[in-house]
Amino acid sequence: MKKIVLTPNPYRDRNFKYVTLADKLLREAGLETRICLAFDVDRSFELPDNVVLTELNHELRDADLLVCFGGDGTILHASKAATKAGIPVLGVNIGTMGFMAELESTELEKLAMLATGEFTTEKRMMLDVTVQRSRDILFHDICLNDAVITKGVIARIVHLSVKCDGVQAMECGGDGVIVATPTGSTAY
């Protein structure tokens, strides 16, 4: 492990208290770090002046790990970029929902174990979701926990055909369908 990208949720980690402490601990352990935002913030939101932020997708190209600081939403959002880059994600809970986080904000000293290799990684299934009408692709994305497809504002019932790996798994009519990985849904 050489390079770690840290992604704070600035709405949860006010003034980047936790991410700057983690940055210090990891650098003292001999690791290279970069701090990046996992998502855009409101233009009116003030980010700390003392933190140098770099571009996430650029930094992930040669990173070994992405560490997210926030709740499950931050982890879910950042996991898309990490998956595309082929690197693992470690969550540090500083949000309200922390089911997916491995560490709590009070356990930051454990991050030093990354430098010595005292950790294991766990593979997680991802969903590759495409919403299609006839031959038109309306939406495509990947996700870690679940995909929810529901009816429109006007329609009361939606007719769905669900395919898994190109094979039709089911056809149904109703108000929607939820497809979940073993990680499960924390929000629906």
The distance from CA 154 to its chain's CA centroid, rounded to whole angstroms, is 32
Catalytic residue among 72, 128, 141, 146: 72
Residue bearing tokens 């939403």: 73
Distance CA 163, CA 25 (A): 46
Active site residue 49: no
Distance CA 20, CA 10 (A): 12
Half-sphere exposure (CA, 13 Å, Cβ side) for 132? 11
Helix, strand, coil percent values for the chain (each to nearest 5): 25, 35, 40
Residues with a known catalytic role: 72
